[in-house]
Amino acid sequence: MNNLAQNPYLEVRQPAQIQGEMVLSCDDIAPNSTLVNDYVANIWGYAGNNISPNLKWQNAPQETKSFVLTMYDPDAPTGSGFWHWNAFNIPADWRELPKGKSNDFGNGVIELQNDAGLAGFIGAFPPKGDKPHRYIFTLYALNEVLDLPNTISPAVLGFNLNGKVLATASLTAYYSW
């Protein structure tokens, strides 16, 4: 049985030797904590602030040419989860995405449309009364800059990570309404 069949989350083929022990963190999201209202959507009855979080990372491999960031809810009742945020071509010399800057990063950073059909970040919005959903932020250090348009899907972005990932780091938080 291959690795993808065992793990339903985004699993991209890695180089034979992962380099580095990257760490991803946020000033106001502790690992496995509950998301604060800033990171909850403000659509379809949700009264969150829909602000993209500040994310910081350290220990990226020296060979890094760019970063990719994703935010994924594997618990969404869609059969395929829900992509809340996908940004790529984050410059190799960056070590932080400032709070509230989604759709305003500049410097060649490309953000895809999320699964709600909106550009950039969309906060948490699990169905009312559902169990707490996991929101997994994952940072990928790549050995190249991706030559892709902003019109691709998160699946196509994931496909294009194959063989290019030097290191990954994740941060998971929860939310229920």
Residue with tokens 């829909």: 50
Question: How far is 145 from 125, CA to CA, in rounded Å?
Answer: 32
Which residue type occupies 82?
F
Cα torsion through 56, 65, 166, 173, rounded to 10 = 20
pLDDT in tens, the chain (177 residues): 344 444 455 555 555 445 559 999 999 999 999 999 999 999 988 999 999 999 999 999 999 999 999 999 999 999 999 999 999 999 999 999 999 999 999 999 999 999 999 999 999 999 999 999 999 999 999 999 999 999 999 999 999 999 999 999 999 999 998
> Which tokens belong to 76?
């969404």
Cβ–Cβ < 8 Å for 115, 98: no
Question: CA-to-CA distance for 81 and 120, rounded, in angstroms?
Answer: 17
Reduced to 3 states, what is the DSSP secondary structure of residue 86?
strand
Domain ranges in the chain? 16-175
**CATH 3.90.280.10 for the 16-175 domain, yes or no:** yes
Query: Which residue type, as a one-letter code, is found at position 84?
Result: H
- pTM equals 0.88
